[in-house]
């Protein structure tokens, strides 16, 4: 059995302590350092069986794929050129996409980047490409899995004072 705080192998006696309203089985070092002892457990006794934790912290590389949508960098030039090519004014374009004229002007001047929703509307009206979609791979290097070592409280928490 391993100490639920520091992870060392417990031989002989283990101590059940209360740490912040939680009961933990710990070694003698951790029992003297944190919490208050409520029971001493003799591990050499054959009739005493304790629950064993089955999940632990093991480095595993897993991949997640996210679809990302971004506005193209030269959106302002594309919008202005397409609007002029069609031959409509900012007023008409603003009415067609349901935005203010000042918003269209700021977008064409490059002072305001359109939202994905507005960019989609502009794409439909102007028949241009403003939104690029691509897959972004994200790696999660750590996950919980079964192994011979249990995760301990000491792996997750930093105790105040003490050592």
Mean confidence (pLDDT) of the chain: 79
Burial class (CB in 10 A: 0-12, 13-18, 19+), 27: buried
Cβ neighbors of 131 (< 8 A, separation 6 or more) are: 69, 70, 71, 72, 116, 119, 120, 123
Whether 1 has a pLDDT exceeding 90, the answer reads: no
Q: Percentage of residues in the chain with pLDDT exceeding 90? A: 39
Prediction pTM value:
0.47
Q: Which of 138, 133, 139 is nearest to 67 (CA)?
A: 133
DSSP category for residue 87: T
- Strand-pairing partners, residue 145, are 56
Q: Give residue for tokens 């918003």.
A: 103
Cβ neighbors of 116 (< 8 A, separation 6 or more) are: 69, 71, 131
Spatial distance between the Cα atoms of 58 and 160, rounded to a whole number of angstroms:
26
Sequence ranges of the domains in the chain: 1-55+147-163, 72-129
Q: Which architecture characterizes domain 72-129 according to CATH? A: Orthogonal Bundle (1.10)
Q: Looking at per-residue confidence, does 135 or 157 come out higher?
A: 135
Cβ neighbors of 32 (< 8 A, separation 6 or more) are: none
- Mean per-residue pLDDT, 155-162: 65
Whether 146 has a pLDDT exceeding 50, the answer reads: no
- Strand-pairing partners, residue 3, are none
Spatial distance between the Cα atoms of 2 and 21, rounded to a whole number of angstroms:
20
pLDDT of residue 91: 96
pLDDT of residue 150: 57
């Amino acid at each position: 059995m391993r100490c639920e705080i520091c992870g060392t192998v417990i031989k002989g006696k283990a101590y059940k302590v209360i740490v912040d309203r939680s009961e933990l089985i710990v070694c003698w070092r951790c029992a003297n350092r944190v919490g208050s002892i409520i029971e001493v457990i003799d591990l050499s006794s054959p009739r005493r069986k304790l629950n064993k934790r089955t999940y632990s912290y093991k480095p595993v590389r897993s991949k997640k794929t996210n679809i990302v949508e971004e506005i193209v960098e030269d959106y302002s030039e594309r919008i202005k050129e397409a609007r002029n090519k069609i031959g409509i004014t900012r007023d008409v374009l603003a009415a067609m996409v349901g935005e203010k004229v000042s918003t269209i002007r700021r977008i064409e001047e490059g002072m305001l980047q359109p939202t994905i929703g507005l960019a989609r509307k502009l794409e439909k009206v102007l028949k241009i490409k403003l939104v690029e979609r691509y897959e972004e791979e994200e790696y999660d290097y750590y996950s919980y899995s079964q192994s011979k070592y249990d995760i301990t409280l000491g792996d997750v928490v930093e105790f105040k004072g003490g050592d």
